């Protein structure tokens, strides 16, 4: 639970729950209440804010507009990289905002660490802060895309250098699932971002807030491109791995072909010496046997050397 009060003509400060009754919102102030549903329900909120929070009980990702506030519900990505089944709900008023979510959905510690000293955030509206919170979750998706790209780079390096392990396909399958999960998450953002930028969404909204939502849409389009690109990269990595496996298979077949030739030559030589003809060569006794064995061994060593060199050659 975190309650932050921004005052452009005073001091920014974190509030305790008991201080909410003393808060007076003006055009130069902004109140941000962040926490889980149980924590916010336990607060003694001002009547207007409490009623607005009670009216927003989203069951899925969407945007709902009420008389003096609106609600945005969006799925989020936790810092571990898995799509959360819970939603982050933003209840937005003109000079206040309540962000409600379970676990890491409402964890904005990184965003709060940027506020050092006094700021002018009191001049911002609740809509501007909402755009900033949504953009913060977009940043989590960008970070996860970067992690997947690093994993792909390491995997491709192992494949190209021939040091891939037996679980390469399993790693690819995991990366493929993660990319698909990110794409599903970004697809869920599309309707929300487009609704916030529709001409009929809060026609009396200030132009500055509309500009922030326009920037949010541009950020969403970049996010959509990054997620689509990482999925294509995973697919290309599988093609690279398949090419490497095909190359190794060709080398193995080439090696086996040389071994087959060598064994065939040995078999032919043994067949020749097994012919029932009376020739001086077949009457040499032990020396002839040694000579035949040496010839077979020479053929075997020669074909083995050629096969090994053929396998080592890319």
CA torsion sign for 286, 289, 295, 300 is negative
Q: What was the pLDDT predicted at 211?
A: 93
Q: Are 76 and 90 in contact (CB under 8 A)?
A: no
pLDDT in tens, the chain (314 residues): 888 888 888 787 888 888 787 788 888 889 999 888 888 888 888 888 888 888 887 777 889 998 889 999 998 887 665 554 568 899 999 999 999 888 777 778 777 676 655 677 788 899 999 999 999 889 888 988 999 999 988 888 888 887 766 678 888 888 888 888 889 889 989 999 999 999 989 888 889 899 999 999 999 999 999 999 998 888 888 888 888 777 777 777 777 777 677 777 777 767 766 666 565 655 666 676 677 777 777 877 777 777 667 656 55
Q: Are 142 and 81 in contact (CB under 8 A)?
A: no
Would you give the DSSP letter of residue 105?
G
Q: What was the pLDDT predicted at 98?
A: 93
Q: What was the pLDDT predicted at 251?
A: 74
Q: What is the pTM of this model?
A: 0.76
Token pair, residue 246, equals: 């095909």
Residue 58: name the closest of 86, 79, 33 by CA.
86
Residue found by looking up tokens 């989203």 in the block: 58
Instruction: Return phi, psi of residue 95, to 5°.
Output: -120, 20
Residue 220: name the closest of 141, 147, 146 by CA.
141
Q: Length of the chain in residues, anyone? A: 314
């Amino acid at each position: 639970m975190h309650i932050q009060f921004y005052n452009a003509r005073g001091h920014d400060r974190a509030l305790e729950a008991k201080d909410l009754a003393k808060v007076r919102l003006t055009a130069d102030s902004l109140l941000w209440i962040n926490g889980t549903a149980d924590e916010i329900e336990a607060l003694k909120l001002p009547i207007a804010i409490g009623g607005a929070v009670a009216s927003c009980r989203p069951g899925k990702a969407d945007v709902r507009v009420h008389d003096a506030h609106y609600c945005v519900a969006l799925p989020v990505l936790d810092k571990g990289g898995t799509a959360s089944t819970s939603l982050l709900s933003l209840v937005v008023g003109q000079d206040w905002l309540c962000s409600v979510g379970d676990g890491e959905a409402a964890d904005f510690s990184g965003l709060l660490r940027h506020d050092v000293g006094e700021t002018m955030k009191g001049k911002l509206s609740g809509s501007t802060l909402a755009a900033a919170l949504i953009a913060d979750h977009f940043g989590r998706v960008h970070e996860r895309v970067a992690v997947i790209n690093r994993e792909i780079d390491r995997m491709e390096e192992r494949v190209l250098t021939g040091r891939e392990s037996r679980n390469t396909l399993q790693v690819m399958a995991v990366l493929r699932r993660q990319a698909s999960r990110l794409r599903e998450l970004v697809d869920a953002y599309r309707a929300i971002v487009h609704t916030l930028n529709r001409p009929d969404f809060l026609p009396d909204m200030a132009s500055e807030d509309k500009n922030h939502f326009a920037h949010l849409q541009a950020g969403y389009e970049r996010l959509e491109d990054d997620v689509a690109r990482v999925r294509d990269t995973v697919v290309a990595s599988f093609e690279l791995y398949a090419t490497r496996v095909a190359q190794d298979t060709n080398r193995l077949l080439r090696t086996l072909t040389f071994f087959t030739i060598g064994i065939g030559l040995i078999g032919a030589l043994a067949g020749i010496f097994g012919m029932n003809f009376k020739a001086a060569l077949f009457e040499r006794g032990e020396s002839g046997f040694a000579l035949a064995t040496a010839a077979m061994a020479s053929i075997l060593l020669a074909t083995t050397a050629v096969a090994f060199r053929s396998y080592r050659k890319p």
